[in-house]
Each structure stands twice: as structure tokens, then as C-alpha cells.
Amino acid sequence: MNHAQSANKAAAARLETALMSVDGVTLQYKTPNHLVTATYRVSLDIHKTDRLVLLGPSGCGKSTLLKAIAGFLTPVEGTITVKGKPVTGPGPDRMMVFQEFDQLLPWKTVNANVMFPMLVNGVPHEEARARASDAITMVNLAKFADAYPHMLSGGMKQRVAIARAMAMKPDVLLMDEPYAALDALTRRKMQDELLQLWQDVRFTLVFVTHSIEEAIVVGSRIVVLSPHPGQVRAELNSGFAQNDRGGPAFQQLTTRISHMLFDDEATSQATEPAR
């Protein structure tokens, strides 16, 4: 009784501050032959204006968790809530930039692709046009506004997808390894632009990556996930300015995280055959 009460109180307190909360979420895929557990009892809170990074090795369930937050997958256990309401399906309040390249509508030009979700959601045409052109300029694709997606490189397509999501001004912006396909220089530029944009607009971001450095640069809070099936290994604060990159504190955090990731990898590999 007492215990339940205090738990309720804690939950209520969390609701006040958390924009979104993931509570004990287990996600599974049913394949014809297997039941694959992608994440196991993951809990985390996303506060307004957070830049929350999900960091973990390939296959640990980062994309799966992000898709569940977006509303495409229903947890087999636990709940995901936005502003206290359970997530029941995808919606334009949680725009997502996917990891895959084929997320643009091939029958629309870059400009039309960016305008499309706004028009669907009742933004007036003129305003949509203005917001789209701002967003496209922001990702440096103004010259390609009238090109069709098949004329763009992989990285350019990702930038269009980012512009499309940004222009919607969603409550939460979900990004799944958006810069993984970019060259180091462009990636760095895009990270800077994302942070600059965050300075200006203060949106809430959930960002998936498997690069420790990117996690530290982009994130204000880093959730480290363990290898498959993903569990929360740690939640850390980050908060480095762009030019801190490579400084001693930066290095220290990098080492700390890589120990977490790689030591776990080693132990899980060591224990696996024994089971």
C-alpha cells in the first residue's frame, strides 16, 4: 500500500517534467521460426528540449525502440507515453527520419516532398512553401529544390528527409542514424547545423547512433544500450560545445562509454558458450 502510493507519487512527479516516457518496454519481433527480443525492459524519460541519444552496437534494438516511440510497434511489455497519453500509433507530432534511403516520395520533387506532410496536416499552402524553402536552404539543397529524389545522392536524400521532418516542427524529432551515410566533413557540418537549429528552436530530439563521438557531440543526454537484446546500460549527461571535440574531458567520456560497450561485449561473448 505504502509502496504503491510512493510509486504513484513518483510517476506523477515524472509526468510533470517528462514530455515522453518509456517505461519497462520490451519489444519483440515474431518471425515464422523465432521470437526475437530486440529490447528488454527499457525505461527512459525524454524531457522537453532534451537531445537524447540512443547509443549502442549494431543490432541492439535502437531502430526498434525508435520505431516503437514513433508508434509503429506495440511493446509486449511496458508502456510508452507522450504528455501522459499512451502512444497508440504514428502521428505527425513525432516526425521520424529513417535510416533507409527510400523514405522520400519518388514522385515528388525535393520541395514537394518537404511540403507534403505540412499540407497533409492542414498548414496553409503559402506558409508550407515558406517553411519548406527555409528547411531546404538549411540543409544546403536550395539548388536541388526542383530535382526528383532519384537524381540525388544517398546523403542528399537523407538531408531532404531531415528538412522534411524539421519543417513540420514536431513535438519530438526522431532520427535514426541520419548521418551514417555522410562523409566525415558533411556529417560534421550537419551535426553543427542540427545543434545550431536546436539553439534557435529548442525542439526535442531523440537521436540514434552507434558512433560514440557523434553521441557525445549531439546529445545532451546519452542512453547507452547493451548488446542484443538491448537493455539500458547507463544514462549519462553530455554537453560539449562543438570545439570541445577532442578535449581531455571529451576523451574521458569517450573512453568511459567505450569501456561500457566493449567490456560488455567481451563478457557477453565469454558467458554465451557457457549457457
Ligand X SMILES: Nc1ncnc2c1ncn2[C@@H]1O[C@H](COP(=O)(O)OP(=O)(O)OP(=O)(O)O)[C@@H](O)[C@H]1O
Instruction: Say which residues have a Cβ less than 8 Å from residue 228's Cβ, sequence separation at least 6.
Output: 38, 57, 59, 60, 61
Nearest alpha carbon to residue 177 among 146, 206, 197, 142: 206
Nearest alpha carbon to residue 221 among 206, 209, 210, 231: 206
- Partner that binds at residue 78, options Mg ion, ligand X, another protein, none, CB closer than 5 to 8 Å by kind: none
Q: Based on CB atoms, which residue is closest to another protein, 147 or 195?
A: 147
Neighbours of 49 (CB within 10 A): 13
Rg (CA), the chain: 19
By the rule CB under 8 A, 96 interacts with another protein = yes
- Partner that binds at residue 29, options ligand X, Mg ion, another protein, none, CB closer than 5 to 8 Å by kind: ligand X
- x/- string (CB under 5 A) for Mg ion, residues 168-207? ----------------------------------------
Q: Based on CB atoms, which residue is closest to Mg ion, 114 or 175?
A: 175
Share of the chain residues as helix, strand and coil, in percent rounded to the nearest 5: 45, 25, 30
- x/- string (CB under 6 A) for ligand X, residues 30-69? -x----x-x-----------------x-xxxxxxx-----
Count of residues of this chain found to bind another protein when the rule CB under 8 A is applied: 26
Residue with cell 504514428: 90
User: Residue 152 gets which letter from DSSP?
Assistant: S
Cα dihedral 177, 257, 203, 23 in deg (nearest 10): 90
* Contact stretch for another protein (CB under 8 A) within 51-59, 113-121, 179-187, 242-250: 113-121
Q: Based on CB atoms, which residue is closest to ligand X, 19 or 68?
A: 68
- Partner that binds at residue 210, options another protein, ligand X, Mg ion, none, CB closer than 5 to 8 Å by kind: ligand X
- x/- string (CB under 5 A) for Mg ion, residues 47-86? ----------------x-----------------------
Span 79-138, contacts to Mg ion by CB under 5 A: 99
The Cα 16–Cα 20 span in angstroms is 10
Burial class from Cβ neighbours inside 10 Å (0-12, 13-18, 19+) for residue 95 reads: buried
Span 173-212, contacts to another protein by CB under 8 A: none
Q: State the nearest-atom distance from the C-beta of 28 to another protein, in Å.
A: 18
Backbone dihedral region of 8: left (phi > 0), alpha (psi from -120 to 50 degrees) or beta?
Answer: alpha
Residues of this chain that interact with another protein (CB under 8 A) are 67, 70, 72, 89-92, 94-96, 98, 100, 102-107, 116-117, 120-121, 148-151
